[in-house]
Structure 1
Amino acid sequence: MPQITIDYSDTVQDAFDREGFARALHEATVEIAAAKPEACKTQFRPSAYTVFGYEDPEARGHAVVHVTIGLLAGRSEETKARLTGAVLELLREHVAQAAVTLHASAEVRDLDASYRKFDR
């Protein structure tokens, strides 16, 4: 915990400073949600195919970046909202202008009570 997943259109691959974003996001998660730095884990998942509205997908005129943060239950709605706000601001800083329209979003959710992990 936290489990962080970033799904993004590969059309912003070169414009997305993933390393800088992950570092800044971990810092924000520690500060805002009281997570432990060593517990922050982020996975980036590029998508080669993004469809937007009725646009022809081959036009590739739109890109999506969606960040999901899974936290152990107990954070207030205010804390979650502060964290999603911070995520969107960090995306503004770490995704450079590209030749596509960027659609960025974030959500913080509680991990299910069944969540377990191990480290090896």
Structure 2
Amino acid sequence: MPQITVDYSAVMTPAFDRVGFARALHTATVEIADAKPEACKTQYRPSALTAFGYEDPEEQRHAVVHVTIGLLTGRTEETKTRLTEAVLELLREHVRDDGFVLHASAEVRDLAASYRKFER
């Protein structure tokens, strides 16, 4: 915990500073949600094809990025909202304008009561 997943259009890969974004996001998550730095884990999942409205996906004029942060229960809605806003600001800073329209979104959710993990 936190479990962070970043789904994004592959077309934006050259414009997306993923390492910088993860570092900044981990820092924000520690500061805002009182997480431990070593607990922050981020996975990136590029999507080869993004369909937007009626646009031909081959034109690649639009890119989508959605960040999901799963936290153990107990954070207030205000804390979750602050973290979500921080994510959007960090995306503005770490995805440079590269000729596509960027559609960015984020959500912070509680992990299910069944959540378990292990380390080796």
TM-score (structure 2 length as normaliser): 0.99
What is the CA-CA distance between 1:83 and the residue it aligns to?
A: 0.1
Give the % identical residues.
Answer: 77
What is the CA-CA distance between 1:8 and the residue it aligns to?
A: 0.5
Pairwise CA RMSD of aligned residues? 0.5
Three-state SS of the structure 1 residue aligned to 2:43 is: strand
**Partner Cα separation in structure 1 for residue 38 and residue 49 of structure 2:** 33
Aligned equivalent of 2:58: 58
Q: In the TM superposition, what are the counterparts of 1:66-85 in structure 2 within 5 Å?
A: 66-85=66-85
What is the CA-CA distance between 1:99 and the residue it aligns to?
A: 1.0
**Partner Cα separation in structure 1 for residue 107 and residue 118 of structure 2:** 25
Matched residue type, 1:104? A
Runs of 4+ with deviation above 3 angstroms: none
Aligned equivalent of 2:99: 99
| Pairs aligned (count) | 120
Q: What do residues 10-64 of structure 1 show as CA deviations (whole Å, max 9, x unaligned)?
A: 1110000000000000000000000000000000011110000111111111000
**Partner Cα separation in structure 1 for residue 105 and residue 18 of structure 2:** 16
TM-score (structure 1 length as normaliser): 0.99
Aligned equivalent of 2:25: 25
**Partner Cα separation in structure 1 for residue 64 and residue 112 of structure 2:** 26
